[in-house]
Amino acid sequence: MAIIGLDKFVVIIKHTEWLDTGSKSAIMATRVQEGGVLEAKKERLKSPPLYKVLLLNDDFTPMDFVVVVLQTIFAMNRERATTVMLRVHREGVGECGTFTRDVATAKVDQVVDLARQHQHPLQCTMEEA
């Protein structure tokens, strides 16, 4: 097995397979035994599933606290945070953003933890987008 570095690409050669790890999609070329011709096979990587983080309405959490949560955890400006807070208040649920599973889980945990620290019953969930 030989490893050859070419600028930004790393090519690993093993027997008759070539693997290009320098791009978003993996390109594999295999040698055809009979004619000695290389045949390129391009595989596209699937993007990870995304999840919507949702804030749920309750009758006890102050609106100002919800705005602060949206600004600090979801990096919203005050206008956008107020719009989402009013949607939560009027419709019962508001979307805070769309993230990969790990990030969405972390955001939900941060919201619930912050609400508990301030003794508010604010609920936050996630669902597949």
- The residue with greater pLDDT, 21 or 70, is 70
Structure confidence at residue 41 (pLDDT): 75
Q: How, if at all, do strands 93-100 and 38-43 pair?
A: unpaired
Structure confidence at residue 10 (pLDDT): 40
d(CA 74, CA 116): 18
- Residue 16: pLDDT above 50? no
Structure confidence at residue 84 (pLDDT): 98
Strand partners of residue 18: 13, 29
- Residue 98: pLDDT above 80? yes
Give the pLDDT band (50/70/90) at residue 105. very high
- Residue 50: pLDDT above 90? yes
- Residue 36: pLDDT above 90? no
Q: In the block, which residue shows the tokens 């919203």?
A: 76
- What's the chain's average pLDDT? 82
- Residue 116: pLDDT above 80? yes
Q: Exposure of 52 by Cβ count < 10 A (0-12 exposed, 13-18 middle, 19+ buried)?
A: middle
- Residue 19: pLDDT above 50? no
